[in-house]
Amino acid sequence: MNRELLDLLNEQINAEIYSSFLYLSMSLYCDDMNYRGFASWLAKQYAEEREHAERILKYLQARGEKPVLPMIEAPHQNWTSLLEIFETVLAHEKKVSSMIRNLMKLAVSHEDYETQNMLRWFIDEQIEEEEQSSYLLEKFKKVMNNEAGVMVLDKECGKRTD
Ligand code: FEO
């Protein structure tokens, strides 16, 4: 595999694990605030991001490459509001989408068809990730000044199953 592409895939593993810790940190904040539905939604994100990292790890192994396990930067932990959290989720997912697009661009330029195939899954996934986080942010903005409305949304988020 092309060296630059391999390095970038390893960086993506780092980014996915960082994302998982970021969502765990948000989930803990929501749990502290007794918003158990939001905490559960974010805990599901935490688990999903670990799966994303493992997907790339397994792909590199299947290609005979050795994944490099990274040093993970500590995520932000001093959250001050739910609005800050939901805005950060959307902004973060947009950033990840752009990283995936960069990876695809490089895989295309090196005619690495196998990596392009693997990345197509991530491209579809990012559409869903951005759509979900945008929905949550917009819904939250509508109810944020009404605690009863926030509790309804919290309950809805608690029903997330995957
Ligand atoms: Fe792995 Fe939420 O992107």
Tell me the pLDDT tens digit for each residue of 8-34: 999 999 999 999 999 999 999 999 999
Residue 161 has pLDDT above 90, yes or no: no
- pLDDT number for residue 130: 97
Question: Interhelix angle for 113-143 vs 82-109, to 10°?
Answer: 160
- Is the CB–ligand 1 distance for residue 16 below 6 Å? yes
Q: What is the pLDDT of residue 1?
A: 92
Domain that holds residue 64: 3-158
Is the CB–ligand 1 distance for residue 19 below 6 Å? yes
Mean pLDDT throughout 69-96?
A: 94
How much is the pTM?
Answer: 0.93
User: DSSP string spanning the chain?
Assistant: --HHHHHHHHHHHHHHHHHHHHHHHHHHHHHHTT-HHHHHHHHHHHHHHHHHHHHHHHHHHHTT--PPPPPPPPPP-----HHHHHHHHHHHHHHHHHHHHHHHHHHHHTT-HHHHHHHHHHHHHHHHHHHHHHHHHHHHHHHTT-HHHHHHHHHHHHT---
Q: Amino acid letter at 127? A: I
- Structure tokens that stand for 143 in this block: 């109810």
CB-based contacts of 47: which residues, under 8 Å, 6+ apart?
A: 20
**What span, in angstroms and rounded, lies between the C-alpha atoms of 127 and 12?**
17
Q: Contact, 157 vs 136, CB < 8 A? A: yes
Q: Give percent above pLDDT 90 in the chain.
A: 94
- 95 Cα–ligand 1 center, Å: 9
Ligand 1 pocket check for 93: Cβ under 6 Å: yes
Q: Does residue 71 have a pLDDT over 90?
A: no
Q: Is the pLDDT of residue 70 over 80?
A: no
CATH number for the domain spanning 38: value is 1.20.1260.10
Given a contact cutoff of 8 angstroms between Cβ atoms, the answer to whether 143 and 86 are in contact is no
Q: What's the structural domain count of the chain?
A: 1
Contact 129 CB / ligand 1 (< 6 Å): yes
- Sign of the C-alpha dihedral computed for residues 103, 64, 20 and 50 taken in this order: positive
pLDDT in tens, 90-120: 999 999 999 999 999 999 999 999 999 999 9
Q: What is the pLDDT of residue 69?
A: 83
**Ligand 1 atom 1, closest CA:** 49
